[in-house]
Copies of this chain bind each other. A is one copy, B any other.
Amino acid sequence: MDGTVRPLSAPGRLAEPQEAISIEELQLAARNHGMPLEALRYDLTPLGLHYLLTHYDMPALDPATWRLSVGGRVSRPITLDLDAVRARPGTTVRVTMECAGNGRAHLLPRPVSQPWLVEAVGTAEWTGTPLGPLLAEAGIDPDAVEVVFTGADHGIERGVEQDYQRSLPLAEALRPDVILAYEMNGVPLPVQHGAPLRLVVPGWYGMTHVKWLREITVVDRPFDGFQQAVAYRLRQSPDEPGEPVTRIEPRALLIPPGHPDFMTRARFARAGRITVEGRAWSGWGPVTRVEVSSDGGESWSEAELGAETSPTAWRGWRWAWDATAPGRYELCARATDATGRTQPLTQPWNRGGFANNLVHRVPVTVVG
């Protein structure tokens, strides 16, 4: 992209200490929506309520002329139309997906980007064909190290014009639950979720699941594209290379009890026994524990875990809260997974605002 366009697209930055949400951040919030927290009541997020982040515009792809090409460091490049993809062996995976930037707007200082609060999550059943056998048919060269996925979505980001592209290490790409999905919750993939085909990589943050997929390229060195080497890195200062963002950190969210005020979303609930419920997930291992607090994290109680419905989806939990005394409370929930990872009570900060799984706090006023 030439110098005429570059001024349209500025480098990443942090908000000043008192800087409020800008109209540009609001524009992104109006397009890219979270999952309303009361939808945590659904094991499977209904269509239209799953969180959504579109980097550029949703492209309009004609399924009749769309093609997927598989090439690069392979011995037999393949091109498939949608019927050919659908004719391959199919499988369905239930996956909790979360945006790597979830929670960003609560960080101090705030990285200026999509201003997520805590709702950038959803669970869907994705139906598609496993990627591994397709790569095997193409014949992976012995020197292959990564697989690059290219979407049809196009724009500029931080001065770089690009098609959206992300890579996976070869071993991850060959996992049996990594699929190319053409259905979501049993219906054809909606345009906003990447129709006609998207990548699904259970356990990884959302930026991995390339939408509007058009090209799969096996490469013999680590991919250095923008979304891999510049964005989606964990950095404390802008000049360090940073660690890549990969799997989802554990998080529990709760359904705010009672009823809201329209403008503030502040909650009020009638005094009595209140069942506090929510969901918890981790991309690193099964959730093994959820703790709940009604005093802002001073003391914690064990929540009862629901059945696991899929190793790669969230798990329900509940806790009986004896909220007999009117007053103001602060509910918190904290998930721990089988690897021992848990949620911090102070913000895990990096310049991109990624993988921030700070404990969720929900103030509630109990009334008589």
A-to-B contact residues, CB < 8 Å: 1-2, 4-5, 8-10, 19-34, 36, 38-39, 41, 46-50, 52, 54-58, 60, 105, 112-113, 115-117, 119, 154-158, 161, 190-192, 256, 259-266, 268, 326, 365, 367-368
With A and B bound together, what is the CA distance between A160 and B175 in angstroms?
A: 54
Given A57-B38, A113-B263: A105 and B26 within 8 A (CB)? yes
Tell whether A4 pairs with B266 under 8 Å between CB atoms, given A48-B48, A156-B261: no
Question: Which chain B residues lie closer than 8 Å to A157 at the CB level?
Answer: 261-263
Is A9 within 8 A of B155, CB to CB?
Answer: no
Contact status A4-B367, CB under 8 Å: yes
Whether B263 pairs with A24 at a CB distance below 8 angstroms is yes
A278 to chain B minimum Cβ distance, whole angstroms, is 14
CB contacts (< 8 Å) of A259 on chain B: these are 56-57, 154-156, 161
Q: A47 touching B262 by the CB < 8 A rule?
A: no
Task: Please report the C-alpha to C-alpha distance between residue A190 and residue B39 in the assembled complex, in whole angstroms.
Answer: 12
What number of copies of this chain does the assembly contain? 2
CA–CA, A2 to B117, complex, Å? 30
Are the C-beta atoms of B262 and A4 separated by less than 8 Å? no
Task: Provide the residues of chain B in CB contact with A27, threshold 8 Å.
Answer: 117, 265
Cα–Cα, bound, A55→B260 (Å): 9
Q: State A21–B23 Cα separation when bound (angstroms).
A: 7
A265 contact from B24, B115, B117, Cβ within 8 A: B24
* B58–A5 touching, CB < 8 Å: no
Measured between beta carbons, the chain B residues less than 8 angstroms from A56 are 259-260, 262
Other A-B pairs beyond A46-B192, A57-B259, 6, CB < 8 Å: A5-B268, A28-B265, A36-B57, A41-B60, A155-B262, A156-B260
Chain B CB within 10 A, most for which of A1, A2, A39, A155: A155
Q: Is the CB of B156 within 8 A of A191?
A: no
Could you tell me if A8 and B268 are in contact, using CB atoms closer than 8 angstroms?
yes
CB of B21 within 8 A of CB of A22, answer yes
Interface pair B48/A260, CB less than 8 Å apart: no
Given A30-B29, A119-B31, A190-B47, decide whether A24 and B326 contact each other with a Cβ distance below 8 A: no
Residues of B with C-beta under 8 A to A22: 20-21
- Contact assessment for A24 and B264 in the assembled complex, using a CB-CB cutoff below 8 Å: yes
Q: 10 nearest interchain CB pairs?
A: A20-B20, A33-B33, A48-B48, A29-B29, A157-B262, A21-B21, A9-B261, A8-B266, A38-B57, A30-B34
A248 CB to nearest B CB, Å: 19
Given A21-B23, A36-B31, A48-B190, CB of A10 within 8 Å of CB of B263: yes
Known: A31-B34, A56-B260, A367-B2. A26 touches B326 (CB 8 A): no
Name A156's contact: one of B21, B29, B158, B268 (CB within 8 Å).
B268
Closest partner residue, chain B, to A42 (CB atom):
B191
Please give me the residue from chain B that is nearest to A157 by CB atom. Answer: B262
Contact B24 A155 (CB under 8 A): no
Please tell me if the beta carbons of B192 and A48 are within 8 angstroms of each other in the complex: yes
Within 8 Å CB of A191, what residues of B? 39, 46, 49
